[in-house]
């Protein structure tokens, strides 16, 4: 158990819908990252938040947005869903100390868009 | 350009034998970190080992060791004494810079351990 929690574990929805994925980082970790894992794109970085502020953006679609709340949990919102958004979405967290800064991953949310 | 390249899509290894997973990387940043993660069929990502660009010695964590060849930009993972539970997908990843930055992942290598 990495200490990072994600809910829900599975999500099945239809095209055009909107969903929210939730992540709670490890206690004390200020950085939260979102990654998408799909068969065709592999593991791709989406976005990073640090202590409530957006820190870095990767290949995140405009239909997707995220935020980090004062209690440091984060939500990833996916809207106008398309079949190609079906993927495993990971949240990871890290604490900014030293040079190692390994990221600890949550169990992921498997999104299926029908 | 691909930052992390894993050229072996799949490998078979006999139980109790060692296996080497290849990883090459591309960066112009002198400060970076290299990571290996394991993803079993259940889906979670498990951190295995870390190597910093300034580390003088190769990293080791139990049965995992990292063969770091900086000039060749390679960071191969060696799993010794393979166990059935080692069957999984293995990802090499890189963080550029010293801070808490994003990871760039390779395509992964599937390892199947045979009894």
- Inter-chain residue contact A50 with B100, CB threshold 8 Å: yes
State the pairing for strand pair B109-114/B10-14.
parallel
Closest Cα in chain A, distance from residue B91 (Å): 9
**Beta strands in B6-108, from DSSP E residues, in sequence order:** 10-14, 19-21, 24-25, 32-39, 46-52, 60-61, 64-69, 74-79, 88-96, 104-105
* Cβ-based contacts of A42 with chain B (< 8 Å): 105-108
CA–centroid distance for A94 within its chain: 13
Q: How confident is the model at residue B103 (pLDDT cuts 50, 70, 90)?
A: very high
pLDDT, position A48? 95
Smallest Cβ–Cβ distance between B52 and the set A31, A43, A99 belongs to A99
pLDDT at residue A98 is higher than 70: no
* Cβ-based contacts of B107 with chain A (< 8 Å): 42
Tokens of B61: 């964590």
Percent of all residues in chain B with a pLDDT value above 70, rounded to a whole number: 99
- Inter-chain residue contact B108 with A99, CB threshold 8 Å: no
CA neighbor of B35 nearest in space, from A67, A94, A39: A94
pLDDT at residue A96 is higher than 70: no
pLDDT in tens, B10-64: 999 999 999 999 999 999 999 999 999 999 999 999 999 999 999 999 999 999 9
pLDDT, position A99? 61
CA angle A103, B95, B57 (to 5 degrees): 95
pLDDT, position A21? 98
Phi, psi (rounded to 5 degrees) for A104 = -105, 125
Rg (CA), chain A: 13
Q: What are the residues whose beta carbons fall under 8 Å from the beta carbon of A95, sequence distance 6 or more?
A: A26, A28, A29, A30, A31, A101, B100
Q: How confident is the model at residue A112 (pLDDT cuts 50, 70, 90)?
A: very high
Tokens of B113: 């351990």
With beta carbons less than 8 A apart as the criterion, state whether A50 and A31 touch.
yes
**Beta strands in A1-114, from DSSP E residues, in sequence order:** 5-7, 10-13, 19-24, 31-38, 42-50, 53-57, 64-68, 74-78, 87-94, 104-105, 109-113
CA neighbor of A24 nearest in space, from A93, A95, A87: A93
Which residue out of B102, B105, B110 would a mutagenesis test of the A interface target, given it has the greatest number of A Cβ atoms within 10 Å?
Answer: B102
Chain B interface residues facing chain A, Cβ-Cβ under 8 Å?
A: 31, 33, 35, 37, 43-47, 50, 52, 54, 91, 93, 95, 98-108
Other Cβ atoms less than 10 A from the Cβ of B99: the count is 14
CA–centroid distance for A1 within its chain: 17
């Amino acid at each position: 158990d990495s200490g990072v929690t994600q809910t829900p574990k599975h999500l099945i929805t239809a095209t055009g819908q909107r969903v929210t994925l939730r992540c709670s980082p490890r206690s004390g970790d200020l950085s939260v990252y979102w990654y998408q894992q799909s068969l065709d794109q592999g593991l791709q970085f989406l976005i990073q938040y640090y202590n409530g502020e957006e820190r870095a953006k990767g290949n995140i679609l405009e239909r997707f947005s995220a935020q980090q709340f004062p209690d440091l949990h984060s939500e990833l919102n996916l809207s106008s869903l398309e079949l190609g958004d079906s993927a495993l979405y990971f949240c990871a967290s890290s604490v900014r100390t030293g040079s190692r800064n390994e990221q600890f991953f949550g169990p992921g949310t498997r999104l299926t868009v029908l | 350009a691909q930052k992390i390249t894993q050229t072996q899509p799949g490998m078979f290894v006999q139980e109790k034998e060692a296996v080497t997973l290849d990883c090459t990387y591309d960066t112009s940043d002198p400060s970076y970190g290299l990571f290996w993660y394991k993803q079993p069929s259940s889906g979670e990502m498990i951190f295995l080992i870390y190597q910093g660009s300034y580390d003088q010695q190769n990293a080791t964590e139990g049965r995992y060791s990292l063969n770091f060849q900086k000039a060749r930009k390679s960071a191969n993972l060696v799993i010794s004494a393979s166990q059935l539970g080692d069957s999984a997908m293995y990802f090499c990843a890189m963080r550029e810079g010293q801070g808490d930055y994003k990871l760039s992942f390779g395509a992964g290598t599937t390892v199947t351990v045979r009894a």
